[in-house]
Amino acid sequence: MLKVSGLTCAYGKVNVLRGIDFYVRELEIVGIVGPNGAGKTTLLEAIAGTIPIKDGRIEFLGQRIDRWPVLQRRRSGLMLIPQDYNVFPLMTVRKNLEVSTILNGYARRKELVDYAYRLFPVLWEKRRQNANTLSGGQQKMLAVALGLTSDADLLLVDEPSIGLAPKLVTRLFESFRSIRQDTGKTIVLSEQNIKVLDTADRLFGLEAGHIRFDEVTRELSKEKVMNLYLGRTR
């Protein structure tokens, strides 16, 4: 579904991603793990088109997209859910969801919003409140719901667990499995929380701009992931 080849991204003269290869199959939940500064956010932003790439190739559904603007990538079925600034704070929850469905017809818009409310009942309860009045966890749920109601084929979710209590992290990760099962969406999660092992089908380890491993989650030990977090790679 997604193939990234030889991707290099830089901030000024410093290469943040160094010729990495990355891929996602349809209907997978793929995790990208690594310590702060590894390049996880940069990778997602490069795929979505919100930052330029220095070198490499990005293909989505068989089309080369690395020269496409953000809107064209969005229309093709890619949606980035950033870690911060991921909701419209002065709009109500309902209006946030309605704006996200704008590329769809009326019947589909209603179907998407109704599913988001079923997945996150608290959003239905808070639907008339402005997004900036929600708790941190509720805002994360709304951000995921915006990705869902966009009806994109591939959701790129950056660090969804940051700042959340453990119970909310568990609930949020459960929602990703439900979204995949109920809607057939493919999901990429950039994460530092070890619980991603319980959610992702496959994990990429990213450190200092390089892919350190690509393994099926059930064959991957927590120790190996923790070694990556702590910088003790072999």
Same domain, 68 and 158: yes
* pLDDT for the residue numbered 163: 85
Same domain, 142 and 157: no
**Regions in the chain scoring below 50 on pLDDT:** 231-234
Q: How many domains does the chain have?
A: 2
* pLDDT for the residue numbered 234: 42
Domain that includes residue 31, residue range: 1-77+153-234
Own/partner contacts of 183-186, CB < 8 Å, gap of 24 or more, are: 183/115, 183/148, 184/27, 185/148, 185/152, 185/153, 185/154, 185/155, 186/1, 186/24, 186/25, 186/26, 186/27, 186/28, 186/29, 186/153, 186/154, 186/155
Same domain, 165 and 97: no
Same domain, 175 and 127: no
* pLDDT for the residue numbered 35: 86
Same domain, 71 and 181: yes
- Examine the fold and report which residue of 130, 151, 172 is the final residue of a domain before the chain moves on: 151
Same domain, 121 and 196: no
- Examine the fold and report which residue of 135, 151, 167 is the final residue of a domain before the chain moves on: 151
List the CATH number of the domain containing 172.
Answer: 3.40.50.300
